[in-house]
Amino acid sequence: MFIILLFTSCDEYYNENYSFNTILVREWNSPICPEKIVLEKYTKNSNFIDLTGKDPDFNIICDSINKQIILSPYFPYINKINYDIRLIINDSLEYKITDIKSKLDTTHYTFTLGRKYYINNRIYSMMINGHKSDNKHADTNIIIPSEQGHALKK
């Protein structure tokens, strides 16, 4: 009885409040690894007119084995996303992300003594350049299929 109480009484809760800490651009079939990433924030439903912020600070990892780009902001985005996002890769490819739907979600990890619970604002769906995208199983990531990008004219 003591052992059972010991294992069930050691639960820990962490309210990280992350919305995302990584963007994964999947099916990246280009041998070129991006050098520049800019994430722009716009007032929700402003048709990308009312710019409210810009973030060019991303760590970029090209994973040629899994054919994806891993974009990690230097600081995770916290709180619920209540704005539209425009992601620009190398000044030539853009992803306009709108209709972002998220909910508070709890993930647990079991350890030897009890469990750890992490509470985050998980993004479960969005529109990417007019295409509905399911993001249910992405934890605190945003998953973007590369073929949904629009080429920018120069």
Distances in Å between the alpha carbon of 11 and those of 15, 33, 66? 13, 42, 35
Residue 78: pLDDT band with limits 50, 70, 90: confident
Give the percent of the chain with pLDDT over 90: 47
* CA trace torsion 74, 80, 85, 90 (10° rounding): 20
What is the pLDDT, as a whole number, of residue 50?
Answer: 96
- Tell me the domain boundaries of the chain: 2-151
Residue 24 clears pLDDT 80, i.e. is over it: yes
Average model confidence (pLDDT) across the chain: 82
The CA distance from 32 to 89, in Å, is 11
**Span 25-30, average pLDDT:** 92
Distances in Å between the alpha carbon of 99 and those of 47, 80, 103, 147? 11, 13, 13, 19
Residue 81: pLDDT band with limits 50, 70, 90: confident
The CA distance from 48 to 87, in Å, is 12
pTM of structure: 0.81
25-42 CB burial, b ≥16 within 10 A, e <16: beebeeeeebeebbbbbb
Residue 87 clears pLDDT 80, i.e. is over it: yes
Residue 39 clears pLDDT 70, i.e. is over it: yes
What is the pLDDT, as a whole number, of residue 104?
Answer: 62
What is the pLDDT, as a whole number, of residue 105?
Answer: 65
The CA distance from 153 to 24, in Å, is 24
What is the pLDDT, as a whole number, of residue 125?
Answer: 77
